Amino acid sequence: MKTNHNIVLSVEDLGKKIGKRDIVHHISFDVKEGEIFGFLGPNGAGKTTTIRMLVGLIKPTSGTVRICGHSLSADFMNAIRHVGCIVENPELYLYLSGRENLEQFARMLPDIPSERIDEVVDLVELTPRIDDLVKTYSLGMRQRLGIAQALLGNPKLLILDEPTNGLDPAGIRELRNFIRRLAKEKGISVFISSHILHEVQLMCDRVAIINQGTIVQTAAVQDLMQQETLVEWDLKPATDGRDRLGQLPYVSRVELREPSKVIAQMPRDKIAEANAHLAGGDIQVSGIRAHHPTLEDIFLELTGGPAHDETHL
């Protein structure tokens, strides 16, 4: 099999069955070099199970995980060597100091000089407290030590499970900037799971949305939001206007809301074109409003979240 050097993590048809229950199934995606990839899903969708399969804590019942071309199941050592991870909370040895923790992990990696420890400690700005016991650290500091630990072996892929859990807004922003910088400056790919949409929207380049154990969509965050732009048209006569909009190939959905309001799902950059098309059909356009959808809207639509539930109630 040819290995694509730009693809750092390649997941193919990954599945896990426990007993008769499919926890996750048919998970496939690729993470490219230097990319921040979001893994989004509600609680219980199978995010953590998938992440644990990516780092070898859980053995998949089907499918393969390749990291830098090495199969995780067949060649665990060479695959996992390129990975730094925090699975759930950064759980460290509380009775050791920050430095002793890092030394523990350094001894489990091939050839980590002690300068590398100073380097990562400096990177996460823990230098003044590194010789204190981890017991005395705040959650934010533990999180940073966790990241230092993950970066120790110069990984090509950083896997972070819910990294912003328990952090305050300032801490979240700090982490976000830090991760962006890592990806941009060091070319490290980052795989981040989250159930906080806003986070993913701000941090990630691409996103996979998982629901009930399977991926419902994978796309660049920009495309996802572009494709889902809702444009509200004030038209007269509205029904003719709706039909005429519906003829356009790039309008994916159109519906009549109020007597003179038509909602169309379409790319933003096609609004002028659509306007001209309507004018050509003798339809009066008295207002155009583009809605900026948040990832949240898209997410709820894709996962059939609360918005839909409400209509059923």
For the chain, how are helix, strand and coil distributed in percent, rounded to 5? Answer: 40, 30, 30
Lay out the site mask for other proteins across 74-93 (x = CB under 8 A, - = otherwise). Answer: --xxx-xx-x-x-xxx-xxx
CB-nearer residue toward other proteins: 96 or 220: 96
Least separation in angstroms between residue 269's CB and other proteins is 44
Least separation in angstroms between residue 93's CB and other proteins is 6
Least separation in angstroms between residue 6's CB and other proteins is 23
Q: Which two tokens stand for residue 137?
A: 């650290």
CB-nearer residue toward other proteins: 100 or 296: 100
Lay out the site mask for other proteins across 131-150 (x = CB under 8 A, - = otherwise). Answer: ------------------x-
As a dihedral over the C-alpha atoms of residue 278, residue 279, residue 283, residue 286, rounded to 10 degrees, the angle is 100
75: CB partners within 8 A, 6+ apart: none
CB-nearer residue toward other proteins: 130 or 221: 130
Find out whether 248 and 242 touch, Cβ atoms under 8 Å. no
Please report the beta strands in 19-134, taking only residues with DSSP state E, as ranges in sequence order: 21-32, 36-40, 62-67, 70-71, 83-86
Least separation in angstroms between residue 204's CB and other proteins is 22
3-state DSSP call for residue 75? coil
Which among 125, 140, 129 is positioned nearest to 101, based on CA atoms? 129
Lay out the site mask for other proteins across 154-193 (x = CB under 8 A, - = otherwise). Answer: ----------------------------------------
Calpha distance 113→62 (Å, rounded): 38
Candidate residues 56, 171, 267, 305; the one interacting with other proteins per rule CB under 8 A: 56
Q: Give alpha helix (H) positions in 59-195.
A: 76-80, 98-106, 114-123, 139-151, 169-186
Say which amino acid occupies 195.
H
Least separation in angstroms between residue 244's CB and other proteins is 55
Dihedral sign, CA of 254, 255, 256, 257? negative
Does the protein bind other proteins through residue 104 (CB under 8 A)?
yes
Least separation in angstroms between residue 70's CB and other proteins is 11
Q: Which residue stretch of 29-37, 70-78, 200-208, 284-292 sits at the interface with other proteins (rule: CB under 8 A)?
A: 70-78
Least separation in angstroms between residue 97's CB and other proteins is 9
Calpha distance 230→289 (Å, rounded): 9
Candidate residues 32, 105, 217, 288; the one interacting with other proteins per rule CB under 8 A: 105
Least separation in angstroms between residue 87's CB and other proteins is 5
CB-nearer residue toward other proteins: 94 or 279: 94
Scanning residues 107 to 136, which ones bind other proteins (CB under 8 A)?
Answer: 107-110
Calpha distance 124→186 (Å, rounded): 14
Give whole-number Cα distances, 10 to 6, 13, 70, in Å: 10, 10, 10
CB-nearer residue toward other proteins: 153 or 213: 153
Task: Kindly list the residues in this chain that would bind other proteins in the complex (CB under 8 A).
Answer: 52, 55-59, 76-78, 80-81, 83, 85, 87-89, 91-96, 100, 104-105, 107-110, 149, 153
